[in-house]
Structure 1
Amino acid sequence: MRIARWTKNGEVGEGFVIDERVVSFPDGQTVADILAGGLDAAHAAFARVGTEPGTALEEVRLLAPLVPAAVRDFVAFEEHVEGVSASVDGRSEVVPEWYQAPTFYFTNPHTILGPGEPVSPPVTERLDFELEVAVVLGSAPGIGDANLTAGQAASRIFGYTIMNDWSARDIQSREMKVKLGPAKGKDFGTSLGPWIVTADELAPYLDDDGFLAVRAEVWVNSELVGEDLVSNMGWPFAELVAYASRNARVVPGDVLGSGTVGNGGCLGELWGRGSAIAPLREGDVVRMVVEGIGELAATVGTPVTAPALPAARPRSRARRRS
């Protein structure tokens, strides 16, 4: 099943993409309702409306397939870490701590972009994309929200979507020198789509170790820039979910990105490997294609100049008021 949100004539619809048409969920249900009910609810809803005529897909504009409860983005590809680290300080390095646990950061759930929706970046000289696959969590009978095992976490994976973690590398680099972040180098836009493909549809692509062996590609202005197998991750998705749940809750509607695939999954990796490929500029089109899921494309829009803020003021560090 493919789960989507769309708009037509100013009205938002939520439901299934079936062949080349969209069909609304029964009883006015939303994507959030279906995720809260889990895959069983999705199959029950499909059984009720799957034969309805719906609306031609070409007559609607797809939106981001959900309004995320939270967005975590991991860094699960060793090859990506090797390349990007070299682009920062000229030295390719994967620190020992990377192998110990699947690190992630939280990004902004309020700047989610849908298919074809242009990104409006900050003023930056090093705009980049990041090709990722993300899991969307749902509920599962008898499975809680915290301290999940990998097996329990697997049952919480409702489906998969494509994720583009837009990145202003110059801003990100400055921020991370403070040993915190990324923040403003990332949180201006994350593209998701074109829909959620349910986990049962992609189960045939899982290898014997639980990794999702689908091909992922990214194209910039019709030029193939990067390609990789998603199964080259250091951890399968279920283990990412389990780690996210440690001493914390994961809930239906949470989105967990794989992190950038290797072999050109972002420009930063290519820069680290000596490529002279140019940063993204206004008007560039970034198109991502993932086997079994679909295609997600967007155009780089006009950079937005934000109001200036002053630098930190040197202060006396007085402990008492004068």
Structure 2
Amino acid sequence: MRLRRVRTAEGPRIEAEAGGHFVRLADLLRLGTIAEASEVTGDPASDMIAALQLGEKGWAALAAEIESHGRPAREDGHVTLPFQPASFRDFMLYEEHVINATRGYVKRFMPGAYRTASLVEKITGKPFRKFRPKPLWYRQPIYYFGNHMNFLTEGDEIAWPGYTKALDYELEIGAVLAQPLMDASPKEAEAAIGGFVVLNDVSARDVQGAEMGSGFGPQKAKHFVNAIGNIVVTADEVLPHLGTLSGTVAINGTEIAQCSAAGARYSFGECFAIAAKGEQLHPGEFIGSGTLPGGSGMENGHWLQPGDQLTLTLDHIGSLTNTIAAGAPA
């Protein structure tokens, strides 16, 4: 099921797509009964997280109700950020991305070291050792905390921070928790996922290296803004396809990269499980997959410029288009 959040004069409204149009959940007479049967405490008509708490049986009942009694939503609102994340952890699931992105970073910002590393790679036929993830990555999922308050959505303009000359995008899969979680198994954690969105983890690459070397992880390189699509697709429709999802990156209408979600070292269930180890997680907490291989300018060589229109897509989930503010440093 595809869901969106619409801001209206009466407050936020959740809508579900059906038959090529959207239906407002508040217009469904049986919504309260379906929510009660799913033990939802919030209001699915106005709260995206509550709508995601309906779960697979609730979504099926909702789809049947929409098919029987749904009518197209009134065009009296503005589609907006689908939910406000309660937190944001960004994981790093793809070894290929780490190797290629590190190589791309060194190529742009450390050309002398890049020539040496390239020679070593040519001689050995293997990735340069320092381009590979750190040893902990091979033992458990790792992540950093981002700024969960600075999320944009479809159509919003991304402001270019004055302190960077190397603004980059990262095509990722985002997942939002619908149920509380603590000390859960990966299977239990996966069952607590409510839905998925397209995620752009925006990055200031020229300040990232020094911050990562500080021992505290990314700071101003990451925390200024991120963006997610305005459509949330329920977990039941995405989880069976996660290992085969494909995506694309387009700049100013020209496709410049094709990506695949295949080859992740860890599952989303494993990611949420490690986050919930000895720690209470709450509905609305949000995680990213890390960049799909090839889904960043640092990998594919197509860096952002002021005024660019950027479109990221993921099969089974949707797309996300944002414009980069004009007149920024480049």
Closer/same/farther in 2, CA of residues 171 and 212 from structure 1, 3 Å limit: same
* Aligned residue in 2 for 1:173: 209
Higher percent of residues as helix: 2
Counterpart among 77, 83, 98 of residue 81 in structure 1: 98
Contact map agreement 2:184 2:273 (CA 8 A) in 1: yes
* Aligned residue in 2 for 1:284: 308
1:2-33 superposed Cα distances (whole Å, 9 cap, x missing partner): 11112357953222122432222236441132
What is the SS of the residue equivalent to 1:3?
strand
Contact map agreement 2:174 2:288 (CA 8 A) in 1: yes
Counterpart among 53, 71, 92 of residue 53 in structure 1: 71
Closer/same/farther in 2, CA of residues 249 and 225 from structure 1, 3 Å limit: farther
Query: Are 1:188 and 2:188 an aligned pair?
Result: no
1:249 and 1:302 map into 2 onto residues whose CA distance is 42
Query: Are 1:267 and 2:297 an aligned pair?
Result: yes
Counterpart among 250, 261, 264 of residue 219 in structure 1: 250
Q: CA deviation at 1:38?
A: 3.9
Matched to 1:53, the amino acid is R
Matched to 2:159, the amino acid is S
Work out the percentage of aligned pairs sharing the same amino acid. 29
TM-score computed with the length of structure 1 as normaliser: 0.81
Counterpart among 293, 296, 299 of residue 317 in structure 2: 293
Q: Structure 1 stretches of 5 or more lacking a match?
A: 206-210, 306-322
2:282 and 2:57 map into 1 onto residues whose CA distance is 17
Q: CA deviation at 1:67?
A: 1.2
Contact map agreement 2:94 2:264 (CA 8 A) in 1: yes
- Equivalences for 1:85-164 in 2 at 5 Å? 85-86=102-103, 87-88=105-106, 90=114, 91=117, 92=128, 93-94=131-132, 95-123=134-162, 124-139=164-179, 145-164=181-200
Q: Structure 2 stretches of 5 or more lacking a match?
A: 27-31, 33-44, 118-127
Deviates more, 1:195-204 or 1:292-301: 195-204
Q: CA deviation at 1:235?
A: 1.1
What is the SS of the residue equivalent to 1:66?
coil
Q: CA deviation at 1:212?
A: 2.7
Contact map agreement 2:13 2:46 (CA 8 A) in 1: no
Matched to 1:109, the amino acid is H
Equivalences, count = 288
Q: CA deviation at 1:85?
A: 1.7
Query: Are 1:256 and 2:277 an aligned pair?
Result: no
Matched to 2:216, the amino acid is L
Counterpart among 242, 245, 260 of residue 229 in structure 1: 260
2:181 and 2:22 map into 1 onto residues whose CA distance is 32
1:47-73 superposed Cα distances (whole Å, 9 cap, x missing partner): 44454223378x754322211111111
1:114-165 superposed Cα distances (whole Å, 9 cap, x missing partner): 11111113122100000001111112xxxx6111111111111212110001
Instruction: Please identify runs of 4+ aligned residues in structure 1 that moved more than 6 A.
Output: none
Closer/same/farther in 2, CA of residues 56 and 17 from structure 1, 3 Å limit: farther
Q: CA RMSD in A?
A: 2.5
Closer/same/farther in 2, CA of residues 204 and 35 from structure 1, 3 Å limit: closer
Q: CA deviation at 1:302?
A: 4.5
Q: CA deviation at 1:42?
A: 4.0
Closer/same/farther in 2, CA of residues 227 and 41 from structure 1, 3 Å limit: same
* Aligned residue in 2 for 1:320: none
Q: CA deviation at 1:230?
A: 0.9
TM-score computed with the length of structure 2 as normaliser: 0.79
Matched to 2:295, the amino acid is G
Query: Are 1:2 and 2:2 an aligned pair?
Result: yes
Deviates more, 1:39-48 or 1:80-89: 39-48
2:240 and 2:55 map into 1 onto residues whose CA distance is 20
